[in-house]
Amino acid sequence: MIVPVNEPASSAILILVLLCSGWCCHGDSLDKPNIVILLADDMGFGDLQSYGNPLSSTPHIDALERNGLKFTQFYSAAPMCSPSRAGLLTGRYPGRAGIWTNGDNENATGVFTQVMTDGLPHQEVTIAEMLAKQGYMSALIGKWHLGIGRDREFLPLHHGFDEFFGIPVSHMDCPCNKCFFPLDDCDRETCIEYHAPCQLMLGDEIIEQPVNLINLAERQARAARSLIQKYSCTRTPFLLMYSFFHPHVPHFAGKPYRNSTLGGDYTDSLAELDWQVGEVMDELEKSGAIDNTLVIFTSDNG
């Protein structure tokens, strides 16, 4: 069992854990549990229906709460994306890896961007690297945000993950930060000429640039289903880290979720996040992996 290191509070976030019945050993069975980490981006605890928000639609996340454990006091390692993710993946203070929150320190890394050439140092041991020694396969879907490097040496495949499908930085680095909804909502005056179009990557290779954010959630959900099927069929213990871009600004959602909630763009994006959670849980059920899987839902910071 992986136990997170207790660290001082910097921003409170929610964590929901589903402990399935097969996670504990039965009789002589010593099957290693699969681990699924569902990581929201900048979601606050008060955003969910289960916490009393009347504007949101989050039935799948609320179902995790009903069937699992709800932690009402949980702390992130940092209030910014890159350092908090470094803390989550390594169990160590982000500052020990040279990744910390911007403040008065002009040399602080803060968050990694397209133009930076550094990343999470290779001497830092990630969860994926630890689990590989126990026979696990690991996959990361979605947002990485822990560096790219001059030769892509800081991407997930170089930090213990066997598969990666996603964007290596924040979608805030895309040049037009109001062009993610249908084009009739696009304000091209917000485009930043020196920003490179966001790249969608499969492993270390760019497969689409700029990425189509309107159908990204659907494609990520399909990828998650495929990986769960593959690992389940081969009876390989796996770590799946599904790192959402929702509901970080600028908000976006596919057509099925556009104008679908009472709270506007923010809760529309949260509804699409919730749908992806439902897709993962449905595939765990269909693949027969649900009874031996530890599912954790949390946010990098809120």
**Amino acid residing at 137:** M
For 51, counting Cβ atoms within 10 Å of its Cβ (0-12 exposed, 13-18 middle, 19+ buried), the class is middle
Q: Which two tokens stand for residue 20?
A: 């399935």
Which one, of 229, 202, 100, lies nearest residue 142 by Cα? 202
Query: What are 20-60's pLDDT values in tens digits?
Result: 433 333 333 348 999 999 999 999 888 999 889 999 999 99
Report yes or no on whether pTM surpasses 0.95: no
Residue listed under structure tokens 């529309």:
268
pLDDT (0 to 100) of residue 102: 59
Which amino acids are annotated catalytic? 81, 145
Q: Where are the domains of the chain?
A: 11-101+108-299
Asked if residues 118 and 130 have their Cβ atoms less than 8 Å apart, the reply is: no
Query: What are 231-253's pLDDT values in tens digits?
Result: 999 999 999 999 999 999 888 89
pLDDT (0 to 100) of residue 75: 83
- Say yes or no: domain 11-101+108-299 is CATH 3.40.30.10: no
Q: Which two tokens stand for residue 97?
A: 């890896």
Distances from the Cα of 55 to the Cα of 106, 221, 267, 299, angstroms: 39, 24, 7, 19
